């Protein structure tokens, strides 16, 4: 297994390993260590069936819960992220976010496998929220350390959300409902359970406020943190190929699906792994 950094700060490409079968304990330890170090791992040239994709994920942890979206038939942990060539409307996964941060226990990791990939476009961009926290001033770190963010799925899956209404022209079956209006508080700075590294835990899609602050106060501070996190030197980018499997750590990253492949079909398989309540 060869691990090659994608940037000088985080993210790595992994080659010379076959994920289609059961891995040795040494391989699993190497993957887990690389994952903690790099936060985003991009495995190239993998020929996986749906069952092999699930088997690989199971070796890393338990499956997470997936709300609002109908999974693949007979595979309740797998989402088929499909966008046909002529499809219109908002792209699933666009906007900076950490997957399902509105859950009591958001997923630790997400795995995404490229099945049908456009000739160009459709990259996924990532931000290191650990680097974002570490590059704040000491004064600002002291402020955000004691605050809780309010997270909710309402903007995406509420009755008036981006995906809140049924769209028969959409390839993915997304069914927002009233349950998306629920909100939950998580620390705005969380500690990684393995590395102990501190990172921001707020995102533009699901963080709707700050506990104990007015809307105006919350918006001012969150907008500053969002702008700071988007710094180009805190980012990396994965260009997809058929057979690429990318996994990312939702506890220390945000990601953004780039919508720049109109006229081309794109199909991915996605699994999330169960996480813990942020602390």
- CA 81/CA 172 separation, integer angstroms: 7
The token duo for 124 is 């996924």
Active site residue 97: yes
Active site residue 277: no
From the list 80, 83, 97, 251, the catalytic residue is: 97
From the list 83, 192, 255, 266, the catalytic residue is: 255
CB-CB contact of 15 with 134 (8 Å): no
Distances (CA, A) of 262 to 125, 131, 163, 177, 257: 18, 33, 19, 29, 13
Active site residue 151: no
From the list 151, 155, 198, 270, the catalytic residue is: 270
Residues 6+ apart with CB under 8 A from 265: 82, 83, 84, 85, 116, 118
Active site residue 38: no
Helices (H), 23-135: 25-38, 50-60, 129-134
Residue identified by tokens 């981006």 is 162
- CA 51/CA 69 separation, integer angstroms: 20
- CA 203/CA 37 separation, integer angstroms: 22
From the list 80, 99, 198, 249, the catalytic residue is: 99
Residues designated catalytic: 97, 99, 255, 270
């Amino acid at each position: 297994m060869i691990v090659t950094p994608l940037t000088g700060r985080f993210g790595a490409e992994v080659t010379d390993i076959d994920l289609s079968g059961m891995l040795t304990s040494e391989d699993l330890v190497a993957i887990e260590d690389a994952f903690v170090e790099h936060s985003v791992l991009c495995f190239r040239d993998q020929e996986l069936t749906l069952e092999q994709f699930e088997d690989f994920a199971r070796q890393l942890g338990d499956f997470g819960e997936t709300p609002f979206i109908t999974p693949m038939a007979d595979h309740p942990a797998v989402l088929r992220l499909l966008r046909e060539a002529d499809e219109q409307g908002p792209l699933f996964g666009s906007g900076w976010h950490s997957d399902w941060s509105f859950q009591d226990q958001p997923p630790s990791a997400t795995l995404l496998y490229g099945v049908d990939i456009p000739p160009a476009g459709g990259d996924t961009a990532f931000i290191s929220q650990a680097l974002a926290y570490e590059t704040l001033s000491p004064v600002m770190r002291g402020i955000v350390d004691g605050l809780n963010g309010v997270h909710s799925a309402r903007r995406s899956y509420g009755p008036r959300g981006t995906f809140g209404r049924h769209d028969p022209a959409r390839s993915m079956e997304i069914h927002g409902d009233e349950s998306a209006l629920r909100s939950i508080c998580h620390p705005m700075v969380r500690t990684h359970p393995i590395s102990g590294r501190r990172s921001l835990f707020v995102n533009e899609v699901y963080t709707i406020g700050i506990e104990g602050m007015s809307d105006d106060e919350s918006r001012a501070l969150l907008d500053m943190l969002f702008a700071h996190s988007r710094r180009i030197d805190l980012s990396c980018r994965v260009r997809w190929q058929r057979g690429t499997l990318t996994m990312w750590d939702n506890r220390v990253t945000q990601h953004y699906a780039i919508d720049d492949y109109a006229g081309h079909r794109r199909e991915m398989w996605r699994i999330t792994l169960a996480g813990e309540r942020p602390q």
